[in-house]
Amino acid sequence: MKKVIFLVDMLSFYASVEKADNPQLQNKPVVVSGDPKKRSGIILAACPLAKKCGVQTAEPLWEAQQKCPNAIIVRPRMQRYIEVSYQITQILEQFTDLVEAFSIDEQFMDVTGSQRLFGDPVTIAKKIQQAIMEGTGVYGRIGIGPNKVLAKIACDVFAKKNDQGIFQLDHTNIQEQMWPLPIGKMFGVGGRMERHLERMGIQNIGHLAQFPVHLLKKRWGINGEVLWQTANGIDYSPVTTNTHNHQKAIGHQTTLPRDYETLEEVRVILLELSEEVAQRVRLQNYRGNTVTVGARGASFEYPTGFHRQVKLASPTNFGMDIFQAAFKLFCAHWDGLPIRSVGITLSQLQPADFYQLSLFDFSLRKEHLSQAMDTIRSKYGPTALVRATSLTKSGQAFARAEKIGGHYK
């Protein structure tokens, strides 16, 4: 039996949830946006009525208001969106046990074995749309394909633009439907790769599909072959329920409420982020070997910043170990210009159950201390224990504790 994969995507998810929860917003242009006073004033979601006025996701709120003066601005409620996303997952699991979350508003489904129960792929897709609408009030678009990459392209390029909200893309119609698309429309091709490919004379997906694969591999290695396979509708990755069970890295990034200009200010936020990363790593029973620090400058016209990493002498999940490596990296690569955002990641994760003991780093003592801190924070909240530096003007621990994914709950 041929594989049948769905990519289910929610229309303007955050805005749709707000309209479903508040019927008075139904026929009005709604945008979900952060607080412009705290540098988070960008559009996170815009309903179709707002999009008709030209409002786009990720643009500044003030620009959106100029395009759509009568738009109703709603502050994000991340906890609510997570709850609805989980509710949608439960609905999808009524049709198949193979449901894989791709993002908060996108989920893959393998319905190959469900056709005997629910009908052909388009019939199943319609039933899923109806179930999601009845259960949550949110409208879902569905891309259908024989694999994940074609299902994704079917949804993003075609299903989102037709009245039915459903489109099937497979090897019988990719030459007609997918190959004429500009190369930038292909899943996995970002802006930089698009420019590289266009300079090679590859203007659309069909050009890439027929380009000699050995030349792509020579230039980009395995990634070149993946690009060629995607253009030809080839993808062997299965829909799996344990995608997020084996993380390769855990990190935190934050946009600062103002430009941080001194090393002492940045030191405070690096310490807070290090502690947050370490706590998450311990919670998932990992240790990591590599610390990565990224920073972005305050100027948009002349962007500055860096992204550097260092490998540790031994794997760790202790906040101060991560901080010391991160701070050393930052000091070595910072150009001294004001900083707008900063992030820390611990990668090359491995199970924490087994690790090499050292005679010099007092791992057991640090482990007991970390366990005690985790227990207190778990019982009394993330700000039950904070470092004294978090009480300074540079500290963001209390503000971040009220957020999920960088936005207020």
Which residues line the annotated binding site? Answer: 9, 105
CB 16 within 8 Å of CB 50: no
Q: What number of other Cβ atoms are within 10 A of residue 54's Cβ?
A: 13
The CA distance from 96 to 92, in Å, is 7
Parallel/antiparallel/unpaired status of strands 43-46 and 30-33: antiparallel
Residue 72 bridge partners (DSSP) = 30
CB 109 within 8 Å of CB 92: yes
The CA distance from 336 to 330, in Å, is 10
Residue 190 bridge partners (DSSP) = none
**Binding site feature residues for Mg(2+):** 9, 105
The CA distance from 63 to 9, in Å, is 26
The CA distance from 344 to 341, in Å, is 11
The CA distance from 310 to 173, in Å, is 47
The CA distance from 99 to 407, in Å, is 26
The CA distance from 268 to 144, in Å, is 48
By annotation, the residues acting in catalysis are 106
Q: What is the b/e burial string over 311-346, where b = at least 16 CB atoms within 10 angstroms of the residue's CB? A: ebeebbbbbebbbbbbbebbeeebeeebbbbbbbbb
359 Cβ neighbours under 8 A, 6+ residues apart: none
Q: Tokens 């709604």 sit at which residue?
A: 30
